[in-house]
Each structure stands twice: as structure tokens, then as C-alpha cells.
Amino acid sequence: MKFNIDISMDLPSLQVLRKRGLLLGILVFLSLQMPAIAQDTARTATPTGKATVYTHPNWWFGVAVGGNVNFYRGSTNRLDAGFTPPVTFHNGLGLGLFAAPMVAFHRPDARWGFMLQVGYDSRKGTFDEQLTACDCPADLSTRLNYLTIEPNLRFAPFKSNFYLFGGPRVAFNMNKSYNYQLGTNPAFPDQVADPAVKGDFSEMSATLLSMQIGAAWDIELSNEENKTKTVLAPFVSFHPYFGQNPRTTETWNLTTVRVGAALKFGRGHKVEPQEGDRVLLPVVPAAAAKSQVRLAVYAPANIPVERRMRETFPIRNYVFFELGSTEIPERYVLLKRDEVKDFKEDQLEVFAPKRLSGRSNRQMVVYYNVLNVLGDRMQKNPNATVSLVGSSEKGPEDGKAMSASVKNYLVNIFAIEPNRIAISGRTKPVLASEKPGGTQELVQLREGDRRVSIETSSPALLMEFSTGANVPLKPVELQVVQTAPIESYVTFEAIDKKKELKSWSFEVKDEAGVAQNFGPYTEEKVSIPGKDILGTRPSGQYRVTMTGTRKDGTTLQRDTSLQMVLWMPDANEQGYRYSVIYEFNNSKAIKIYEKYLTEIVSKKIPQNGRVYIHGYTDNIGNADNNKRLSLARANDVRRILEAELKRTGRKDVTFEVHGFGEDNSLTPFENTYPEERFYNRTVLIDILPKK
């Protein structure tokens, strides 16, 4: 069996020459563009010395090169109108070149995209040797070359650098030559071999329509400070025999496995730093030439101390029960009958829970008054009715007993007519957290599923524009002072692509040499409130030394300077905060809130306003997945708000989006109780006027 990798082509017809000229023109154009693109890969900096950050491109241009392993199957005998060898050839194998310019489109956080390749595709090969009647060996090889056009859909199932692709292949024949050689009988060594017969196959298909499927992995060769991003993408693809019969006669068909790599370039857009935004301070890359560790500091231009917010706080329509109990937990605020007359929705701090955990503040005071808010609203709306559905792992009867506890409280304390409250029980809630076959974190999941759902169709009790059994109750408005908003935090980052680091830490030293030490940390990103560094100082110039300890015991260290200013916001500044709540491990709740975001939230954004969108999750599940989930939810909220603003002709709003996942130092609430975990599955939207 022979392998022939010669890619030369015989002079074809005028039509083939035109196809070859088109391919050559594409390759020449790409070769001229590559140097211009490559010149932009150098790191850039602003006049102040701060590194410039660029977004990830949507459009990519490059070239793909690979090898085709061609498997011949079926039979061929009559080679052209004037020549038929004495034997039929079956099966074969060959290696051919594939080379094509390419263009691709895919958004950084999207699963779907598009790819197009147009280039040279060799399906050459050599058939298995056959013996003629005189015991003479007969060999047949072919230079079978095509101009191929391959549009593909790109699908990244995990929104990562790994992706699948597939689509049709349209191939135009450029070369169909063959080489036939009849050898001599080994028993007659003095016999002279016949000369080789060369020609073009007859009855060849000028155009083939087939398909391919494949997989690839994008390896990033540049960082966020490069305007031009460079990616190397090794790939493998499979081209089945469907549609790949080279001739219109006989049964010869082709199956191909292609292995290669694509080099792609794309240009990002400059991220313009604005007052209050994080700015990447220059940090020299790690000393080792092969190291993939980069230490960096992000700091906002100013560090606000506090911010006054009018918060619209949603009330989740759940009352959570402790495992093994059907009594309302003590952490909920339970009034006496003579206290009902003094209850006011806008003064809930008067009726604080007996115990709060961690960061639970006024927002959780609101939630723990959920039964009192419900009773008060049912008193004021005598036509409103509710259905209480208890879910218990012990079964429907136990769930119904939990519902009865809530009903008895509303009837006995708020004097609600019993016939306005229906009760029932079930084993699992409709939107259950624990899934069949689950084995991890079952206690937390079951705590979240042991609850009474408050279901109603009375508009006076429901959130605006919402219907359905699992819709939150009408929110409560709070006037709060927000301390140290998250977008003001200083962020320290150790980007460790090859997982070299065991841990990292940093020292912050002021002008007088007074040092503060933080760490060690194992996560890639840590955010510190500016006030933790400044203390009571109005401003300060700091030297930051970041130290990474590798797993082999060696260290790397980088220094940078950091200027921080502490200021109080304008006394007249008034912000608004809204929340979007999600069910466990999904983003379906956004559908409930979509009209709410477009009709209520977007209308609160002032001209030239600022919108900070922060996504979070609870602490159940994988931390990396939670980080991606929180960012996806936050971006979904931004998409809805931007679309509504665009519909009304507005382009004046500045957005800043972050996904913090389950980061315990940043989530709005602790994760001690199920209600706190449910409220951590949220996106917070802060709306502020122009600075």
C-alpha cells in the first residue's frame, strides 16, 4: 500500500483554471492581511501608563491547514473511454492536503456560532494492488483534488473553548487524473514492464454535495491587553461517504478523516475606563518565560463610602420549615393579636426577628415578616384569596400540616375568614431543588424543598405584570443606605492558566511604610472594600506587592502602585435598586420579570444614568459553574434593559455587569437558611444618576 502526498496538479480546463484562480486570490488576500493584523498584537497602554483592555472579538479571520486521511471503498474498473484495465480495483487509502482561508462568528458567551472555509481539498489516494490473469501486479493511484466550500454551525455546549461543528460541503472538481501501472510477473524477472498509463477519469462528478462533523478547541495565544486576539484551534472532522461518490458510474466512494489546526485572528474593542470603573494597573508578567501566571490589580477611580438607595425588595412566596417540624420556625416574626393594629409595611424594623445570621439586615427583616405582610394585605383587600401548598419529604399529609400552621396563624392573628384560605399538601414542590438521582448537598436541597408556597391569583397581592403559582408577592419599598457598593471594591487577581500556583497573597504599603497583609488565597480573584485599605484616611498612595507560591515551592513577585481616594457621594444623589430572583440552577424566572424590567425598571433609568448589574448564586453546586451562571443571568438582565432602551431611542446609559457566583464575601446574604440561599439566587440592579 502506498502513500502519495504530492500536491501538484496537471493543467486542467479553462473552468478549472478559473476555480484555481479564485482559490489563489483568496490565499493571496489572506497573506496580505495577516501581517497587518499581527502588527496589532503588541500590548498597548494609555498615556497615563495604565494598560488598555480589549473585549473578546465576535468576528475571527484566519487559515485552516490539515491532512485528509482518505479511505477508498467500493470498486472501479473502466478508467476512461479509451482504457479499461484487466482487473477491477477495490478499496484504497491516501493522504491529501487541506488548506483554506476561514471566517468565523461567535459571541464570547454564546453557545452558537458560524464558520466558513473556502479552499483546496485533496482526496488523492492509491488503490489496493491487484493481480491480473498473468500474475502481474497492477497499481492505480489518483490525484483527486477539489475546491471546497464548507459552511458550518459552531456549537459550544459548555460555553467554553471546546466546541463542535458541522455542516454541508460543496466541492468542485479541479483534478481527476490517474496513474495506472502494470508490473511484471515475478517468475519472469527479465520481462519488461509496460509503460505507465496516465489520463483523466471519465464520467467524473463536477460537483459533490456532502457533509462533515467535527470538534475543536480554541487555545488563546494573547491576553486582554492585546487589541488583536490570536487563537490556535486544533480540530478533527469526519466526512462520511454520503454524497462522496467521485464518479457518476461504478461504486467507488470516499470517507475522510481530517486532522489539522486553524490559526485565527480577531480585533477586540477598547474598554474605555470611566470614573468609578475598575482600571487595570500595569503589572509585569511572571519572570519565567514559560509561565502562564499573571498577577493584576483592578481599582476604581474613586471609592464611595455609602450610597442612599430606594430599594424595591421582592417577597418570595415561600415559608420554609425546619426538617422534622410542622411549626412555623422562630426566625419568622410572629405577632400577637393586639400587635396587628400597630403593624405597618413601611416600618418593619419595629418587628425584627428574634435572630438574624451574618449579613442579614433590613432586607431579611422584610422577608421574616412575610406572613404579617400577607395578613395585612388580605385585611386591606377582603376579596383576595390564597392557596397554601405544603411540600414535605414525609408526604402530602405532613405538607398539609405545615400549610395548616400558616393558615391558623392568619386566621387567629389577622382574623382572616377561613374560607379565603385553601390548604393542601404534596411530597415535592412543583419547582423542586432536589432532582432524582442526586447525591450531593442533599440536606441543603431538602431544606429548600420543605416549604409552604403562597399561591394566589389576586392582583393586589402579586408582583406587577405577573401571574402563576410561583410568582413572588408584591414587593416592599425600602429606604436604605448601602455601604461600600461592590463596584467600588479593589480586585486582586492571579490568572493561573496552567494551575501553577499553590497560593498567593499581597502586601499593601502606604507612603509611611505601614503595611497591611492579605491572604494567602487559592481562588483566582479576591475583592476587598476600599475602606478596608484606607481606613479613615481620605486618600492614599500605596505600593502593592503580590506574591505567588508555585506548587514546586518557587515564588514569583510583582509590584505596582495604587492611588485611592475616599469620598462621600453627593447629598442629593438618590439611587434605585431592583432584584430579579431565579429558581434553583436555572434562569427561567427571568420570563416572569421580563415585562417588569421593561415596564417598571427601565423607566427609572435617568438620562445619562449608570446601571450596575450584579449576579449571584447560592453556595450549592460547583463554584466555577455558579460563577458562569451568575454572569449569564446578569447579562440576560442587561440584554432586556438595553433592548427596551434601544426601542425608545436611548443610547445614553452606561452599564457595568459582574457575576460574583457564590463568593461568600460578596453575596447579599449568608447561606445559613434556605430563604437566604433562595435570595442569593438573584440579580441586583442599581440605578444611579449621572455622576
Range of the domain at 331: 318-471
Query: Which amino acid, one-letter code, is at 305?
Result: V
In a domain, 478, yes or no: no
DSSP track, 553-604: S-EEEEEEEEEEEEEPPPTT--EEEEEEE--TT--THHHHHHHHIIIIIGGG
Domain boundary at 543, 567, 591, which?
567
pLDDT-flagged residues of the chain (< 50): 1-17, 19, 23-24, 26-51, 272-290, 358-359
Same domain, 406 and 546: no
**Residue 100 in 3-state DSSP?**
strand
3 state SS for 218-239:
CEECCCCCECEEEEEEEEEEEE
Domain boundary at 512, 532, 567, which?
567
Same domain, 85 and 172: yes
What's 292's domain CATH number? 2.60.40.10
DSSP track, 341-404: GG--GGGGGGG--S---TT--HHHHHHTTHHHHHHHHHHH-TT--EEEEEE-TT-HHHHHHHHH
Q: Which residue has the cell 414535605?
A: 392
Tally of CB atoms within 10 A around 357 = 14
Q: In total, how many domains does the chain have?
A: 4
Q: pLDDT value at position 468?
A: 64
Taking Cα atoms as reference points, which of 339, 300, 628, 668 lies closest to residue 489? 300
Same domain, 332 and 444: yes
Same domain, 203 and 239: yes
What's 604's domain CATH number? 3.30.1330.60
565 strand-pairing partners:
539
Same domain, 366 and 302: no
Same domain, 72 and 169: yes
Burial of 508 (0-12, 13-18, 19+ CB in 10 A): buried
Domain boundary at 548, 567, 586, which?
567
The residue count for the chain: 691
Q: pLDDT value at position 167?
A: 96
581-636 tens-digit pLDDT: 887 766 565 777 888 899 889 999 999 999 999 999 988 888 888 888 898 899 98
Measured CA to CA, the distance from residue 75 to residue 245 in angstroms comes to 11
Q: pLDDT value at position 36?
A: 42
Angle between helix 623-647 and 589-596 (nearest 10): 30
CA 86 centroid distance within chain:
61
Taking Cα atoms as reference points, which of 626, 636, 621 lies closest to residue 666? 626
Same domain, 444 and 512: no
Q: Are 616 and 667 contacting, i.e. CB atoms less than 8 angstroms apart? A: yes
Vertex 613: Cα angle to 560 and 283 (nearest 5):
10
In a domain, 311, yes or no: no
In a domain, 8, yes or no: no
Measured CA to CA, the distance from residue 607 to residue 198 in angstroms comes to 77
Same domain, 255 and 331: no
Same domain, 204 and 256: yes
Same domain, 240 and 282: no
Burial of 220 (0-12, 13-18, 19+ CB in 10 A): middle
In a domain, 6, yes or no: no
Same domain, 676 and 592: yes
Same domain, 663 and 599: yes
DSSP track, 181-229: EE---TT-TTPPPPPPEEEE-SSB-SEEEEEEEEEEE-EE-S-TTBSEE
**CA distance to 159, 237, 261, 664, per residue, from 165 (Å):** 14, 9, 14, 38
DSSP track, 504-517: EEEEEE-TT--EEE
C-alpha cell at 427: 411530597
In a domain, 149, yes or no: yes
Phi then psi for 393, rounded to 5 degrees? -65, -15
629-661 tens-digit pLDDT: 898 899 989 999 999 999 999 999 999 898 888
In a domain, 156, yes or no: yes
The sheet with strand 306-315 has its strands ordered as: 473-483, 306-315, 575-581, 682-688, 610-615, 654-659
Q: pLDDT value at position 360?
A: 53
In a domain, 107, yes or no: yes
Mean pLDDT of the chain: 81
In a domain, 563, yes or no: yes
